[in-house]
Amino acid sequence: MKLCLTNISYKNLTFVNFIKKVKIINSKYLELAPGLMGKSPLKKRHLEKIKDILIKNDLKIIGLQSIFHNCKKIDLQKTKGKKYLIAHFTKIIKIARYLSVKQVSIGSCPSRKIDIDYKDLFTLNHYFFNKFAAIAKKNKIKICLEPISKKYGNFFLKNPIEVLNFIKKIKKGNIKLLLDTGNLELEKMDFRKVFSKTQKFIEHVQLSDKNLKLINVKKIQKHLKFLNNMKFKKTVSIEYLSNKGKNILEQKNLFKSL
């Protein structure tokens, strides 16, 4: 099991200062939101700096998240909108490939936030995820599909069972399930029961609270103990929203105990 930190918990810090926090906590793995990696995350010169920092600090990015953050609002049912979203995803995959990242997480995708008839919504997302899967596959990258509750303005794939059913219908080998504990709390679903039923489909787990601004280290410890007992060997991230990080010493002790 690879436990990592994410930069969405350190939103106001520069990438260099975020890495300083990572070193204090003693994590070796990161899940990164590209939009928080700097002002020009797509420029090769900037990516070279990011890569150098990672090498010097012996750190590895296990995945990208929040990949559609700051996407412009556009009608995704029209050809222009479809081309825009696919082009944006292609740029994210280029970042992932350059930084040797093997998976990207898709949660709040704009195509899942359209309040239209469910059949039309399914058809639209089936189209996009077929395209996303093909682009990712060419670059040997997996897509971790995250359930997002309606609370966040999402109308499609609100819980892990809906995600799993969609994965089975779309039949793309590189689209896997992302299990998020905060989502499970919001959907009133038991983490251990859902994990046990869906483990073979899970590629990534995010340990969060139903209130994304909170971090409960004791609860995280319990989840990690369970995952360890279940012999989960894939990736896990500690996720909460913060400007400069919280409970740094508690997290340091948590990583030390692993």
With a cut of 90, say whether residue 250 has pLDDT above it: yes
> Contacts from 91-98 at CB under 8 Å and sequence distance 24+?
91/42, 92/34, 92/64, 92/67, 93/135, 93/136, 93/139, 93/141, 94/42, 95/34, 95/41, 95/42, 95/47, 95/64, 96/64, 96/139, 96/141, 97/139, 97/141, 98/44, 98/47, 98/51
> Which range (19-33, 37-51, 168-182) has the least confidence?
37-51
**Type of residue found at 26:** N
Kindly calculate the radius of gyration of the chain based on its CA atoms and give it in whole angstroms. 18
What is the chain's mean pLDDT, rounded?
A: 95
8 A C-beta contact, residue 251 and residue 25:
yes
The phi and psi torsions of 32 (rounded to 5 degrees) equal -120, 140
Mean pLDDT of all residues in 58-62: 98
**Type of residue found at 244:** K
What is the residue whose two structure tokens read 């219908």? 169
The phi and psi torsions of 153 (rounded to 5 degrees) equal 80, 20
What is the residue whose two structure tokens read 């898709």? 106
> What is the per-residue pLDDT across 139-166, written as a single tens digit (0 to 9) for each?
999 999 999 999 999 999 999 999 999 9
- In CATH, what number does 2-257 get? 3.20.20.150
**pLDDT of res. 231:** 96
Domain-wise residue ranges, the chain = 2-257
With a cut of 80, say whether residue 130 has pLDDT above it: yes
**pLDDT of res. 249:** 93
**Type of residue found at 35:** G
With a cut of 90, say whether residue 44 has pLDDT above it: no
Helical segments of 42-178, H only = 44-56, 79-98, 118-138, 160-170
> Hey, is 8 helix, strand or coil?
helix
Return all residues near 203 (Cβ < 8 A) that are at least 6 apart: 103, 142, 144, 176, 177, 178, 234, 235
